[in-house]
Amino acid sequence: MIEDIEINDLRLLTQLVKEKYDYDFSNYAISSFKRRLLRILEIYKFDTFDKLMVKLRNEPSFFKEFLSEITVNVTEMFRDPSMWRELRDKILPTLFQSHESVKIWHAGCSSGEEVYSMAIMLKENGWLDKAKIFATDIDHSILSKAKEGKYAVKNMHELNDKNYFRFGGKSQLSDYYKIEGQNILMDKKLVSNITYMEHNLAGGIAFTKVDLILCRNVLIYFNQNLQNDVFKLLHQSLFNYGYLIVGSKETLVWCDIASKFITVNNEEKIFKKIRD
């Protein structure tokens, strides 16, 4: 078993992937990227790094799987319940008061738990019909999962129900799904205002202008150079006085665009764009 990956091999791999598939991973954070690569070597039982390189070079169909495995998809519904409360009680009331319709972008939405959480919260407060939600991710197959809205029963009980309870929702999470064997299926009525799309934050192309961006636990997989670029892109994609929410242990204060935002809530990492 391979226990470590040389920096030079990393470089060769990101070069190959860039040239052949036009995805740029050269600015992903190294420890995490290495760990995901080691995991791929293990899953596919490659006993040398070169075998992975050969497969990437010769089998374009393998790249999809590679993309799925290299990204970390772990997510939860109502992750950080206190952030969702803040959103419900402070941020969204102001947005919906001043806007006919509010555009929300989940950048790096993974399997969609965060998006369903949003839809549920919007619905409980009578906002769902006035909202337009975009949910994007780099990983095509995880987006299919998001659209399907099918999750393991086990996760619902151990994690999501409890988060929802801590958030203090108006009913019970189980009102929004039905159980089918080992899985649950989310209520499709929740998602009529949601558009799922493939989008690569590292591709440099802005998305569309929105009033609120959630980009949580995505930028942690990038190095500071790429974070800097992506924060610029997120800034571009926000209307003035729009909000950006990142993960509870992330910040934009070290980035070039820091001065174009103010901190609305430091504990929950909610920022507001104050100038172009």
Partner 1 sequence: MFKDKFKAIIIGGSAGSFQVVVRLLAELDEKMDIPIILCLHRLKHVRNGFVEALSIKSKRPIVEPLDKEKIRKGVVYLAPANYHLYVELGNQFAISTDEMVNNSRPAIDLTFDTASYVYKEKALGIILSGANRDGAWGMKRLKERGGYTLVQDPEECTINTMTTAALNITQIDQVLKTDDIIRFLNKELC
Ligand X SMILES: C[S@@+](CC[C@H](N)C(=O)[O-])C[C@H]1O[C@@H](n2cnc3c(N)ncnc32)[C@H](O)[C@@H]1O
Positions touching ligand X (CB under 6 A) are 71-76, 79, 108-110, 114, 137-139, 142, 199-202, 216-218, 221
To partner 1, the closest distance from the beta carbon of 145 in angstroms equals 16
**Under the criterion CB under 8 A, does residue 41 sit at the interface with partner 1?**
no
Region from 91-99, 100-108, 136-144, 216-224 binding partner 1, contact rule CB under 8 A: 216-224
To ligand X, the closest distance from the beta carbon of 240 in angstroms equals 24
What does 211 interact with, of ligand X, partner 1, none (CB < 5 to 8 A by kind)?
Answer: none
**Under the criterion CB under 8 A, does residue 166 sit at the interface with partner 1?**
yes
Q: Which is nearer to ligand X, 79 or 123 (CB)?
A: 79
* Binding-site member from 2, 29, 56, 153 for partner 1 (CB under 8 A): 29
To ligand X, the closest distance from the beta carbon of 178 in angstroms equals 23
> Over the Cα atoms of the chain, what is R_g?
19
To ligand X, the closest distance from the beta carbon of 116 in angstroms equals 11
Region from 173-181, 197-205, 215-223, 256-264 binding partner 1, contact rule CB under 8 A: 215-223
Q: Which is nearer to ligand X, 102 or 117 (CB)?
A: 117
Q: What HEC string does the chain produce?
A: CCCCCCHHHHHHHHHHHHHHHCCCCCCECHHHHHHHHHHHHHHCCCCCHHHHHHHHHHCHHHHHHHHHHHCCCCCCCCCCHHHHHHHHHHHHHHHHHHCCCEEEEEECCCCCHHHHHHHHHHHHCCCHHHEEEEEEECCHHHHHHHHHCEEEHHHHHHHHHHHHHHHCCCCCHHHHEEEECCEEEECHHHHCCEEEEECCHHHCCCCCCEEEEEECCCHHHECHHHHHHHHHHHHHCEEEEEEEEECCCCCCCCCHHHHHEEEEECCCCEEEECCC
* Binding-site member from 125, 250, 264, 272 for partner 1 (CB under 8 A): 250
Q: Which residues bind partner 1 (CB under 8 A)?
A: 3-4, 29-32, 35-36, 72, 74-75, 80, 82, 162-163, 166, 217, 219-221, 223-224, 227, 247-251, 254
